[in-house]
Amino acid sequence: MQATTHPDASAPTTNSMVAGAMRAARAAQASWAETSPAERTRILRRFHDILYRRRHEVAELITAESGKAYTDAFGVDVLVSLDSARWTAKAAPRFLRSRWQRVDGLMFLRKRVRLERRPLGVIGVISPWNYPFFLPAACVLPALACGNAVLLKPSEFTPRAGAMLGELLHGAGVPAGVLQVVQGDGMVGDAVVRSGVDKVIFTGSARVGRLIAAACAERMIGCSLELGGSDAAIVLADADLQHAADGIAWTRFANAGQTCVAPKRVFVEAGAYDAFIGALSASVTSIRVGDGRNPATEMGPMIHADAAALVRAQREDALARGARVIATAPVPGKPDVATGPSGPAPVEDGRGDAQVAPTVLVDVTDDMRVMREETFGPLLPVTRVADLDEAIARANATPFGLSASVWTRDRARALEAARRLEAGTVMFNDATSVVGMPSVPYGGVKASGMGMLHGVAGLEACVQTLPVVDDRFVGWRQPWWFRYGDRHLAHLEAFGQFAHAPSLMARLRGLPGIIGMLLHRNRNERKSP
């Protein structure tokens, strides 16, 4: 079966077609699993080379489909996907290689173990629109490298990016049945979850993630869920404030603020607050908003008008409750409540209603929507705090726990904060970039998800680990087998003394009993207790 049954690879898929794709994936997976890790690695390397050759074409497609700035499409979706392909091709063969190993513990000295890593079977990957090439690639590549087949459902808002990923992987040599791209909305995603897949990897909202977790639990299959976030950035008084301001401005407003792992609440120690606000305001007001196809554009429109309306509603709620706008950048050709006069050139890609000014809010309180909800757009509240203790308490006062960042020159204080923050990842003097590190495990806590992606943990998520245990002395009875009695118990006592007594002399006194236990092999002797 081909990657899609439609001439248009981005055309919607029916539920019956999902079922057919699942049957084809199941049939193709067995022979794919028999393919050597070396051959699967060669295919991933070919994918890397093809993607590199077509890198600008892919970035242009992503920009046209999502509206994001071309530099965001190229610098994240394309370049990070190249990193992910290269790392997976390098790491997967080593991860999948089986070796005999010693078993720890005196009782099992004669044993050895071999860890066999088997593919799970067919993995369903349901990916979002905000990074429509990189995020599915980072899930699909390790799944394929470990011998699984994949049903990939891209977001209905960015179907062509998902179709392009499938096209490039098939061009690299992934068999058509092994990777299939099924297109459609949440109904198609639900069909994938219930199609008989052996695991689901989902990136999206906490609400949908809970539904997927429940559906997976009914079938007793695993799921890896990367859900929403309301990441905290803590700026301490000793931080390099210009560095912090520039870094937070980029990590919050790149991709029009549509990044799960990004600062969405900033807590600034009182001694640095005024200076930080000044530096952040200067950085934000200089952001060039416009048509994402223009290479000079730094922030394009949001994905669609409804997403933009939600962010505007969060901003208006904050303003109605007493917050103030202290920095924005103008949206070309579009007057806005927060921006005042518009810039000179309107956006001409039909996404004017999705343009939202990058906006910094102050005088925010914890009852405002922008502090309670995930804000998935270019809106950033900044709050003054007395000290690190208050910053951590308020950072943790959220149902989310995807990541956090601490901006300081004092790494001891940063490490203290990292130990106390309720987050899947903590970064020092940077944010967001952890999601682009293919070798580093990535995931959230609390309502931000379950399971890990990327790194060796991401490979582990794509396999069943089978321990194979061997006994190197066939014919020698195990000392703990039946023949219970006084002598048997004395031998066990001697073993416990030799293995666990607190002093060396006490341990050595158990040695004769150990020797007796090893030599006592009379199969016919039975003692009454």
Using alpha carbons, select from 125, 213, 121, 163 the residue that is nearest to residue 7: 163
CA pair distance 169, 166, nearest whole angstrom? 5
Could you say which of 260, 269, 298, 374 is catalytic?
260
Residue 227 in contact with residue 376, Cβ under 8 Å? no
Contacts 24+ apart (CB under 8 A), 350-354: 351/67, 351/300, 351/301, 351/302, 351/304, 352/301, 353/305, 353/308, 354/67, 354/301, 354/302, 354/303, 354/304, 354/305, 354/307, 354/308
Facing residues of 153 across strands?
126
With residues binned 3-state (H G I as helix, E B as strand, rest as coil), the percentages for the chain, rounded to 5, are: 45, 15, 35
User: Amino acid identity, residue 34?
Assistant: E
Supply the DSSP string of 226-238, one letter for each residue: E----EEEEE-TT
Question: CA dihedral in degrees (208, 214, 220, 222; nearest 10)?
Answer: 30
Could you say which of 226, 269, 298, 374 is catalytic?
226
34 is catalytic: no
CA pair distance 171, 257, nearest whole angstrom? 33
Residue 58 in contact with residue 24, Cβ under 8 Å? no
Strands 324-328 and 359-362: antiparallel
Angle at alpha carbon of residue 24, lines to 20 and 26, rounded to 5°: 115
Using alpha carbons, select from 352, 240, 257, 269 the residue that is nearest to residue 314: 257
Burial state string for 102-126 with b = 16 or more CB within 10 A and e = fewer than 16: eeeeeeeeebbeeeebebbbbbbbb
Q: Which helix (H) or strand (E) holds 449?
A: strand 449-450
486, 500, 508, 526 from 513: Cα distances, Å = 13, 14, 10, 18
Print the SS3 string covering 323-380: CEEEEECCCECCCECCCECCECCCCCCCCHHHCCCCEEEECCCCCCHHHHCCCCCCEE
Tokens representing residue 309 in the block: 């309306």
CA pair distance 166, 159, nearest whole angstrom? 11
223 is catalytic: no
Query: Which residues have CB under 8 Å from 296's CB, separation 6+?
Result: 288, 290
CA 301 to chain CA mean position, Å:
24
Tokens representing residue 432 in the block: 């967001």
Residue 293 in contact with residue 332, Cβ under 8 Å? no
Please list the active-site residues.
Answer: 226, 260
